[in-house]
Amino acid sequence: MSMPPQQFTPELQLNTLFERDSEGRILHTREPNPSTGSLFALVRSRTECAWAVHRDVPDNVADQLDALARTEPPAKELADEPVHAARYHALAGGRIDAGPVFTIPADIATQDDIAAVTDLSQLEKHFHGWAPNEIAGCSPILAVMKDGHAVSVCFCARRSELAAEAGLETAAAFRRRGFGGRVTAAWARAIQASERLPIYSTSWSNTASRAVARKLGLASCAADWTLSP
């Protein structure tokens, strides 16, 4: 029997982005080749907030961040900064990254001309930097193919047992053709078939990525705000 689809919550988003310890502290990112992860991460929807502090942040600073975050209100407008943004930054430092979070509806339309990427050779002509272990670690990887080579791909940038975060790349020569939306929709359907929730997020400054979300008709459900080392 198939499980009901997961419902988005800010806590689900945090647990999709980061591996966390028993106290909820961030250990590293949920990627095939993990990075350290954020010093502090806050996800706000219009009804609730969730946050996490990295394990390497000193306990006295983590306690202050936790105390502030407990009083952080939900976002009236997702594009607004958190109420305590300046104080979080003063305590933890780091680079501020922020952007909208979208979920993808189960009935999103897909097309038939999308292929699965199962071998590194399918990526090597138009994309660089992929490692062999990422083929399995980022699967499913869906692509628009030209002459047997992927020109636009959507994959699991991060994933957990309950949800997956989309990563989207289109080779420069093939942009502005609608390929990004097509592979994102196909990837979302594949994630839904695995009984996980597909999540699409980006930065406020990434106009191309936000355009994909707009063309797919996605509605933003939350906002990420993080401090990175």
DSSP per-residue string spanning 87-156: HHHHHH-SEEEEEEEEE--TT----S--EE--SGGGTTTT-----HHHHHHT-S-EEEEETTEEEEEEEE
Domains recognised in the chain with CATH numbers: 10-102 (no CATH), 115-216 (3.40.630.30)
Is omega for the bond preceding 32 within 30 degrees of 0, making it cis? no
pTM of the model: 0.93
Name residue 225's amino acid.
Answer: W
Say how far apart CA 208 and CA 184 lie, in whole Å: 13
DSSP state of 54: B
Within 13 A of 158's CA, how many CA atoms are on the CB side? 18
Which strand (E) or helix (H) includes residue 69?
A: helix 59-70
> pLDDT tens digit string along 151-178?
999 999 999 999 999 999 999 999 999 9
- Report how far apart, in Å, the C-alpha atoms of 136 and of each of 124, 131, 200 are: 16, 10, 20
Q: Residues 20-49: what's their mean pLDDT?
A: 97
pLDDT for residue 5: 57
List Cβ neighbours of 150 (8 Å cut-off, separation of 6 or more).
115, 117, 122, 123, 126, 127, 143, 144
Sole residue written with tokens 């292929």: 115
> pLDDT tens digit string along 56-73?
999 999 999 999 999 999
> pLDDT tens digit string along 164-221?
999 999 999 999 999 999 999 999 999 999 999 999 999 999 999 999 999 999 989 9
Say how far apart CA 177 and CA 90 lie, in whole Å: 43
